[in-house]
Each structure stands twice: as structure tokens, then as C-alpha cells.
Amino acid sequence: MSPEIPAQGFHATDAKSWKPIFSWDEYDPDPAVSKGIVWGAVKGWNGDLYIGSYNPAAIGGVQTMWKTYGQPEGDTLRQCDMVEASRAATIFKIHAPGTDQQKVTLLYGEKRLRLAALVTRHLRACSAPRLPRFPGQAGGSWTTALRG
């Protein structure tokens, strides 16, 4: 969240005063794939914040997976990685952003996300989908603290 906008506008030195309120890795269980997802449009409405995400050309996640874990040999394993790194677009609603009452709700997105096998990647077939990092089912809501 940004601080109140000063009359003279923001400057580079003001960057430290911004506080993150939500991070993709709070939703996605895969630490490598989550780096390849891009935030989309942000819109405020009735005091809530709506934000979307997308996987650019459906390859952002697989590229970061391969940079992190290495690219497997063979078309079959590469295809598995492409499936595992695929993420549907999401839309989140953030109620009371930046406050103690903040609640994030997944309005649109996947109920299960694939997680790359970190150690045995070259020995496994495609993994089963995993639940997102929600303390309940996807599509529910949870409260998240400000991340500093």
C-alpha cells in the first residue's frame, strides 16, 4: 500500500514507505513457478481492491522453473513441466487492504495448483495437483498480515 500521496507526488526516495499487502507466493505452493506469474490490472471499488494475475504466454512459470531446477531431457518431461507450470488467470478481492481486518478472497482461479517435484524431477511423471496455500479450500478467504 502506498502512503498518502504527497502534494508534490512520489519520488524514488519514497519507495521504502510502500508496504506490500499480498504476494503471489501466499497463494502458489511452488516457489519457482510463482516467480513467473505477472500481476495484472488493479482496481479499487467500494473500499476493496481487485487484482488479477496471468502467466505470460503460458510460459512464464515454466521458464522460471527451468531456470531454478534445470530443463529436463526429453519431450515427455518437458511437457510435464509445461503442465505443472501452467497457471490460470486469477482475480483476488482484497477487503480492507493494509489493515488488521484485511481479507483476501480468490474470486476466480484454480482450486488446485501443480507443484514441481524438487528433488526427483528427472525420475517422476507429472505430479498430482496440490491445494493452494489457503488455510481452507481455494475460493475461500483468509486474513493476511502486512509483509515487510
User: Which one is predicted more confidently, 47 or 146?
Assistant: 47
- C-alpha 45/C-alpha 88 separation (Å) is 24
pTM here is: 0.68
- C-alpha 14/C-alpha 52 separation (Å) is 25
Each residue's pLDDT tens digit, 61-108: 888 888 888 888 888 888 877 877 777 888 999 999 989 999 998 898
Least reliable range by pLDDT among 81-85, 124-128, 140-144? 140-144
- C-alpha 147/C-alpha 137 separation (Å) is 22
Q: Which percentage of the chain shows pLDDT scores above 70?
A: 75
Using the 8-state DSSP alphabet, how is residue 56 labeled?
G
Q: Which helix (H) or strand (E) holds 75?
A: helix 75-85
pLDDT at 132: 58
